[in-house]
Structure 1
Amino acid sequence: MLKRLIEIPSVSSVSPSHDMGNRPLIDELAGWCEAGGFRVEVRPLEGVADKANLVASLGKGPGGLVLAGHTDTVPCDPHLWSQDPFQGVFRDDRLYGLGSCDMKSFLALALEAAAGFDPKDFRHPLVILATADEESSMRGARAIAEAGQPLGRQAVIGEPTNLRPVRMHKGILMEGIRVTGQAGHSSDPSLGNSALEGMHRVMGEVLAWRDELQARHRNPQFQVAVPTLNLGHIHGGDNPNRICGQCELHIDLRPLPGMEPDALRQTLTERVDKALQDTGLDHEVFRLIPGVPPMETPADSELVRVTEELTGHAAEAVAFGTEGPFLRQMDMDVVILGPGDIRQAHQPDEYLALDRIEPMLKILRGLIQRFCIHA
């Protein structure tokens, strides 16, 4: 199963030239789940014919355990790989291939772990959730949350965490700021109104806001304990002898748990308004992506305690985002826990170390025992 999932391309991207559907992979998973006795539901994404989520349930009853993973991968540069990224190559005690680490392997391991149980013994169901478009828009997880249909009480998402439980992560906001002025000949400033000079004011105001956020918000459980705000991309004007008519800045903001994304967007708009007041420059603040909220599952929740016991590690916090916040919206406790290493993700020669497979299976079987049989 591990090799087969890698062999089915399922790239998702904000660039239409790279984006592709995940339906062939979903159909493959659906077949395996049906063969394993699961009740299978394929949920196509609205308005997208070749993308879908999979919800597969084993056993009956209230609550239950959800083992969740996304089916898509980021794009890749095949010429930079030592082997075909879509072949699934076993070499040097590793499985190489796009998605081996992030995170197709988890879905195969979840099915393998489930195969050792008789669903007649389940007091609560086991659910395999496979989603679309995590690497681009989170559209699959958003659709699951918007549907509002209960899936379970506990959820484990198999993102690469080195077999360590994660109960908190930062959010992701990517915002654009566009300033529009008036182009003119640079020999006479009165002939125009420089958007670039206006953006200089905006950048100063945004960086001052960053300092305030970092002074006000801090969580020592994160390696970078403060919210981060990166000025990542800027473009303005077209020639040195023309007053810049338009300038655009893109920023990345990573809020800590407890910081509300909509409130941050509102404050950003207010700070841009302040920077450009009385300049005569038009401006707008807009979303580059829908964004991902921060996530936090209480440290004293049963799921956190059980995953800490099974792994031997205290639950941690990470800076990358996941589908966890959308499952939290459905009243589930969520832990991020998978066999891969985030340092191997999103780069050439991505791999999963084979010595991670048995420990992951042991953890998954322990979770199924605890939440489907003995709970």
Structure 2
Amino acid sequence: MPFLDTTLPILDRLIAFPTVSADGNRACTEWLAEQLTEAGARIEILPDATGEKANLFATMGPEGDGGLVLSGHTDVVPVAGQDWSSDPFAMTEKDGVIYGRGSCDMKGFVAACTALAHRVDATRLTRPLHFAFTYDEEIGCFGGQALTEWLAERGLSPALTLVGEPTTLSVIEGHKGCYEYTTRIRGRAGHGSDPRAGVNAAETAAAYVQTLIGCRAELDARAPEGSPFAPPGTTINVGSISAGFAHNVIAAEAVIEWEMRPVQPGDAALVHERLATFVDETLPGMQATAPEAAIETETIGEVDGLEPRRDNGMRDLIFALTGQNQAGVVAFGTEAGLFQQAGMDVAICGPGSIAQAHQADEFVTRAQLEDCCDLLDRLVQRLY
């Protein structure tokens, strides 16, 4: 049966699992495990602490180091507030376009990988073929971090990783890191008629944000010469600020959600140093009035970027298979940097466009999926 014809029923089933990050992916993961077990793969289901989410790591062919990892995440972003033309959790095809939440980001690739497993002759594989399907990529790459830690604990060292994020099957060799934080400021409430009677968390939050903004010029000046990224240097974004509840009440609490996207080692340390100085200079004055005052930052996730490297076996293998001869960089983050930090050569190449990801009526075209299937078929031939 044609590769695409076996992929589409799997994609249909995957889209039907509402694997929004907040709700978990365990049922989807167990179904994929069943599919890969039927194909002859050796399965590891790796749950998180709640048991509601899990990574899946499956292997075909010989044991040991080397080989290839095909990587994708199974969680998706919410559909709440989006105006869909059809049920987002039911695959719909019209005029060669396949709609559904996750169709391009990135269940299309996961479906093709799962269908591939049924086509592989494991007895002919000379190197391991691994499938890595993770949870919580969309909210901090927590599953990818847990998986690479597990690989390190097992002493398992694959050589190559292909991350099938939607790139319209163009080869991507780099992206910035993504570090996300929530800073909580606690002051003391009081009547607005006497601002000195309390400690205004909203005002402290404003000064904290100004410190973040002040780091931008330093980061711009540190941008690497010849950086392939746009903007070329590390960026900072303040996503939300919330504080107080009335005009005439001193704000006792404030929350700042912010991120930075590092392009090189040392940039994140610079920002943290500037913020530590701010806290050291500001907090004693707050606590002189309100001993309970605090400025605390929670790390939501720190995911390293994918560094473009001169030597990259995964990139060069995709070049050889597709005829492409130039790799690009992207603005969005992926799990690719985690695999690179674990010692693998990594490239990103998958069906669909990132422009469709996270949108209402998300889609991937039949043609893109078919081309992806063809690429995976040819990729496996290199493992025989």
CA separation in 1, counterparts of 2:276 and 2:238? 18
Q: Does 1:302 align with 2:302?
A: no
Gaps of 5+ in 2: 1-9, 288-292
Q: Alignment partner of 1:291: what SS?
A: strand
CA separation in 1, counterparts of 2:198 and 2:18? 51
Q: Does 1:335 align with 2:343?
A: no
CA RMSD in angstroms, aligned pairs only: 2.3
CA contact (8 A) 1:235 1:247 kept: yes
Q: Which amino acid aligns with 1:233?
A: S
Query: 1:208-219, aligned counterparts within 5 Å?
Result: 208-218=214-224
CA separation in 1, counterparts of 2:333 and 2:185? 29
Q: Does 1:98 align with 2:101?
A: yes
CA separation in 1, counterparts of 2:17 and 2:39? 21
Counterpart residue number, 1:4: 13
Q: Alignment partner of 2:214: what SS?
A: helix
Query: 1:176-325, aligned counterparts within 5 Å?
Result: 176-218=182-224, 220-259=227-266, 261=268, 263-264=269-270, 266-273=272-279, 276=282, 279-280=285-286, 282-311=293-322, 312-325=324-337
Counterpart residue number, 1:16: none
CA contact (8 A) 1:78 1:85 kept: no
Q: CA deviation at 1:271?
A: 4.1
CA separation in 2, counterparts of 1:103 and 1:72? 8
CA separation in 2, counterparts of 1:310 and 1:226? 33
Q: Deviations over 1:45-70 (max 9, x none)?
A: 2x222322212211115410110111
CA separation in 2, counterparts of 1:296 and 1:24? 34
Q: CA deviation at 1:174?
A: 1.8
Size of the aligned set, in residue pairs, is: 364
Query: TM-score, structure 2 length as denominator?
Result: 0.87
Query: 1:107-118, aligned counterparts within 5 Å?
Result: 107-118=110-121
CA separation in 1, counterparts of 2:23 and 2:193? 50
Q: Deviations over 1:97-150 (max 9, x none)?
A: 111010011112123334444222221011111112212242322221222231
Q: Give the one of 166, 171, 174 matched to 1:160.
A: 166
Query: 1:21-32, aligned counterparts within 5 Å?
Result: 21-32=24-35
Query: TM-score, structure 1 length as denominator?
Result: 0.89
Counterpart residue number, 1:353: 365
Segment drifting more, 109-118 vs 129-138? 109-118
Identity of aligned residues (%): 35
Flag the 1:279–1:125 CA change in 2: closer, same or farther, 3 A. Answer: same
Q: Alignment partner of 2:184: what SS?
A: strand
Segment drifting more, 184-193 vs 297-306? 184-193
CA contact (8 A) 1:182 1:193 kept: yes
Q: Does 1:169 align with 2:199?
A: no
Flag the 1:121–1:63 CA change in 2: closer, same or farther, 3 A. Answer: same
Gaps of 5+ in 1: 13-18
CA separation in 2, counterparts of 1:270 and 1:79? 40
CA contact (8 A) 1:269 1:285 kept: no
Flag the 1:96–1:181 CA change in 2: closer, same or farther, 3 A. Answer: same
Counterpart residue number, 1:59: 61
Counterpart residue number, 2:5: none
Segment drifting more, 331-340 vs 22-31? 22-31
Q: Alignment partner of 2:104: what SS?
A: coil
Q: Which amino acid aligns with 2:197?
A: L
CA separation in 1, counterparts of 2:196 and 2:313? 67
CA contact (8 A) 1:2 1:104 kept: yes
CA separation in 2, counterparts of 1:275 and 1:177? 17
CA separation in 2, counterparts of 1:241 and 1:193? 14
Q: Which amino acid aligns with 2:235?
A: T
Q: CA deviation at 1:251?
A: 1.4
